[in-house]
Every structure is written in structure tokens, then in C-alpha cells.
Structure 1
Amino acid sequence: MGRYTLRRLLQAIPVFLGTTLMIYYLVWGLSSDPFAGKCGQRACPQSYVDLMTKRLNLGDPVIVQWLKYLGGLFTGDFGRTFSGNEVSDLIANAAPISFRLAVVAVVIEIVIGITAGVVSALRGRSFVDSLILISTLFLISLPVFVTGLVVKQVFGVELGWIRTSVPTDPDVFQLFVPGLVLGSLSMAFVARLTRTSMMENTRADFVRTAVAKGLSRRRVVVAHILRTSLLPVVTFIGTDLGSLMGGAVVTEGVFNIRGLGGLVFQGIQRQEEAQVVGVVVLLVIIYLLVNLVVDLLYAVLDPRIRYD
């Protein structure tokens, strides 16, 4: 296991270098004039251009800029915006909120999604199965921003059951409704994926062997069918965590949450390239770490998998 973990960490290095180089080049290398629109309708003063060119290393080739940027990353320096704000400070304020929101969404999709998938698989071709399939199809058909607006209008404005705006530093309970909205689409996919995987494994040889040994139905379902069926579900949930952190722009906007999604949107609006690059690089790191954890969980869920 230790050698496998080390090998996966070494494999993540070229992926990290390649993705950060691509991101940096797309944001900085394709811009013919990084100061366009920075000072409104007028051209920026030459003194300002010279200062920012030196501070952001804009006079160097893109590859040199990227290498200097990587050097700063190892010390926790994500760069500085044109307005003078440290990107690391902006991320430090926004990331915990987005992380809590993503965790709430992932817990919801795990608990509700897997439970619904298991019930649907065990009650195949019944009324409950049809109800779950129709409900998940309905959630998949609805864009997340529509779900968020409907929930906010009905339960917040008309019924007054929830707050229409989340506080500046919300706790987990205050993020429950936005997390439910954010995770609704993934929850539907998890339910359907769990159902399909369980129904496929029900006809597998190792399940027939477990039944032939006289094991109870509960043990067969939990220890054999469900445990093996969770492999594709874990893969989906693992990659979904990074997507939820970076793709929550709409949900954060609907509920006025100041997280990473809003930080990226704000950076695009204000043409703050360093801010956009910093957030995306952070999401790349999160993706790599989560994928490593998912790979290690495979051996726990499926005893047939061994890491030598």
C-alpha cells in the first residue's frame, strides 16, 4: 500500500505541472494586452503599467512567469491582483465556506442518494422503484439554478421556512438548504448509479456463491452486493467534491454565499487573472488529493483489489 501511494503521488506531479501550465498559459499567455480595461475607458498610466509588469513578471516569457509562479506556490503565495489584494488572503476567506457547502452537498448525496438507490434496487419494478426513478429523472432534468430559485421563492419568500440569504460566515446548519440544492443533481445520479450497479452485481457469481453458502439476505446485500457496487459511486462522489467546490457559482449567487465560486466569477468580471488562476490551481490540488483517496478506498470496498 505504501509503494502504491508513493507511486500515485509521483504520478500526480506531472499532472499538476501540466494542468497549471495550461491554466496559466490560457489566462496570461493568450492575452495580448493584460492592462486592457483595467483603468476604465482611459489607458493606464505608464507608471502603473511598469509597476504591475514588474510585480507580476509580465515582462518575462510565459514559461518563466509560470516557473516563478510555481516557486511562489510552494510558499503559499498565490499571487496578487491588479488591485493589490493577496490572492491567498481571498482564498483563505472564501475556501472554508465553499468547503463546508461542498461537504454538506456530498453528505446529502451520499445519505439520500445511496439509500434511494439501494431501496430502488431491492424493490425493482415496484411502485417505490418507479417513484424513485421518476423523482431522480425530474431532478436531472432541472438546472440547479431553477431548483435553487424555486426553493428560495417557495420555502423562503412565501412560506418563510428558510432564510433567503446566508450569513457572511455560515455554519453547517445554515448551509443545509443551499447544500441540498447544490447536491440535488449529483444525488439523483448517485441514486441511479447505485441502483444500476447493485442490480448488475446481484447476478454476479460471487453473490450466487454467498447465497449458496447459506448467508442471510442482509449479509449478502450489505457485505457483498452493496460493498462492491459502491466502487463506481465512490469514484463519482470523489470527483464530484472538486466540482461542487468550483461549480457552485449559481448556488452561491442565489443564496448570497461568498465562496470560491463567487470569487472566480468576480475575478472574471473584474479581469483579475491572478485571482482566477489561484482559485483554479487550488481546485486542481483538491482534485488530485481526492482522486488519491478514492483509489485507496477501492481496496477497502473490494477485497479482490490488492495494491502490491
Structure 2
Amino acid sequence: MGRYVLRRLLQLIPVFLGTTFIIYTLVWAIPVDPFAGKCGQRPCPPAYVAAMRAKFNLDDNLFVQYVKYLGRLFTGDFGQTFSGTDVSTLIANAYPITVRLAVVALVIEALVGMTAGVLTGLRKNGFADNLVLVATLMLISLPVFVTGYILRGLFGTPRGTSFVDLIVPGIVLGSLSMAYVSRLTRTSIAENRRADFVRTAIAKGLPTSRVVGVHLLRNSVIPVITFLGTDLGALMGGAIVTEGVFNIRGIGGLVFTNIQQQQGVVVTGVVTLLVLVYLVMSLVVDLLYAVLDPRIRYE
């Protein structure tokens, strides 16, 4: 296990470098004047522009800029906005809200989606199965902002950002993934019902609850865990629409605002953090495989 973890950590290094370089290139290679409108209706003085370009290394080629940015990033310095505000401060204020929203959405999609998937997988082609299939098809077909406006009209906007306050926005954010989790669980349960280990457990006279909860579900949940693990990063990155509908000041709103204001350093810092979340969750999911299925060995 130790060698596997070390090998996976080493594999994350080129992935991190490659993705962050692509992000940095996409943000800073855009042929737009980053200082347009920063001095009101008049153009910024040449001295100000020269000082800012030197501060953000904009006169260097893109690769040198990236290396310098990476060097600061490894020391925990996400840089500063053009107005001098630390990006780390902006992230520290907004990120916890989005993390709570994403966790609420993940819990809802896992509980509801897996429960519906297990019930329909055990009773395939029944009334409940057809009902869930129609419901998930509707969730997949509806855009997230439509679901958000409907639920906001019914329940209003949250008064705070606690876990309880974020339940309705969490349902909206996790609605699409909940449909996928339900269908993925249903398919996996239906396939594993005919597996030898399930027939053996039934032949031993084990209770149905143990056959389903321990043997069948434990082996069927592996693809679902993979989806849920990688979906956490997707939920945080895709929270822009949901946060906008419910007026939640999280990481999505921070990215959207700074894209409009051409604050590339903020966008780069936030997206880099999301990349780290993806990589860490991917590693955690891989390690969970051995816990869920003892047949999997890493060494």
C-alpha cells in the first residue's frame, strides 16, 4: 500500500503541472488589456501600467511568468489583485461557503441517488423503477438554473450559509448528479444480483438485509464511489449558477466577478485550488477501492 500511495503521489506531479500551466495560459494569454477601466474613464498613466506589468511579470514570456507564479504558489502565496488585496484572503472568505454547499449537495445526491438506485435495481422494471427512471430523466433534461428558480420561488433564498440553510441550494446543485448516481447504482445492483458471490450468500441462508447491505451493495458501490469522489470538485467548480440564483457569496460568485473584472490572478488561484481538490479526491477514491472490495490489491 505504501509503495502504491507513493507512486500515485508521483503521478500527480506532472498532472498538476500540466493542468495548472494550461489554466495559466488560458487566463493570461488572452489578448485583452488587463488594465482597461482600472483608472475610470481615462486611460491609466504609463507609469502605473509599467509598474503593474512589472509587479505581475507581464513583460516576461508566458513560461517564465508561470514558473514565477508556481514558485510563489509553493510558498502559499496566491498573489494579489490589481487593487492590492491578497487572493488568499478572498479565497478564505468565499471557499468555506462553497465547500459547505458542495458537501450538502454530495450528501443529498449520495443518499437519495443510492437509495433510489438500490430500490429500483432490486425491483427492476417495476412501478418504482419506471417512476425513478422518468424522474431522473426530467432532472437530466432540466437546466440547473431552471430547477434553481423553481425551488427559490417555492422556498425563497437562504438566510445564512449554515448546512441547514444550504439544503435547498444543495438539492439544486446536486440534482443532475443525483440522477446519474441513481442510474449508476441501479445498473450496478442489477448486474451484481446475478453474481456468484450473491448466490453463495443466499445459499448460506444469510438474511436478505445482510446479502443486500454487505455483499451486494459493497461490491456495487465501487463505480458510484468513483463518481462521487470526482464529483466533489465538479460541484465546487459548477456552483457558479447555483450561487448566482440563490445569491450565495461563495467561490462561484468570486470567479464570475473576477472574470468580468479581468482579475486573472484570482481566477488562476481559484481554479488551481479546484485542481488540487480533484487530484486529492482521485487519490482518496483509489485508496477506498481496497476497503470496499478486498479482492483489490495494490502491491
Identify the TM-score tier after normalising by the shorter chain.
Answer: over 0.9
1:104 corresponds in structure 2 to: 104
Cα drift, residue 203 of structure 1? 1.5
Deviations 1:76-115 (A, max 9, x none): 1111112222111110100000000000000111111111
* Counterpart code for 1:117: G
Equivalent position to 1:249, from 240, 245, 249? 240
Cα drift, residue 41 of structure 1? 4.8
Q: Mapping of 1:1-308 within 5 angstroms?
A: 1-31=1-31, 33-39=33-39, 41-156=41-156, 164-167=157-160, 170-308=161-299
Structure 2: runs of 5 or more not aligned:
none
Cα drift, residue 130 of structure 1? 1.4
Cα drift, residue 40 of structure 1? 5.0
Deviations 1:243-279 (A, max 9, x none): 1111111110111101111111001111111111011
TM-score by length of 2: 0.96
Query: Is this contact kept in 2: 1:28–1:34, CA < 8 A?
Result: no
CA separation in 1, counterparts of 2:41 and 2:196?
71
Deviations 1:132-170 (A, max 9, x none): 1111111111111101100111233xxxxxxx2443xx2
Change (3 A) 1:93 1:122: same
Query: Is this contact kept in 2: 1:252–1:262, CA < 8 A?
Result: yes
SS in 1 for 2:221: helix
Q: What is the RMSD computed on CA atoms of the aligned residues?
A: 1.5
Identify which range, 92-101 or 174-183, moves more after superposition.
Answer: 174-183
* Counterpart code for 2:74: F
Query: Is this contact kept in 2: 1:267–1:273, CA < 8 A?
Result: yes
Deviations 1:43-87 (A, max 9, x none): 321121111111111111111111111111112111111222211
CA separation in 1, counterparts of 2:106 and 2:40?
42
Query: Is this contact kept in 1: 2:189–2:217, CA < 8 A?
Result: yes
Count of paired positions: 299
Change (3 A) 1:62 1:166: farther
Query: Is this contact kept in 1: 2:243–2:253, CA < 8 A?
Result: yes
Structure 1: runs of 5 or more not aligned:
157-163
> Identity of counterpart residues, as a percentage?
67
Query: Is this contact kept in 2: 1:104–1:176, CA < 8 A?
Result: yes
Query: Is this contact kept in 1: 2:27–2:264, CA < 8 A?
Result: yes
Cα drift, residue 37 of structure 1? 4.4
Query: Is this contact kept in 1: 2:219–2:292, CA < 8 A?
Result: yes
Query: Is this contact kept in 2: 1:38–1:271, CA < 8 A?
Result: no
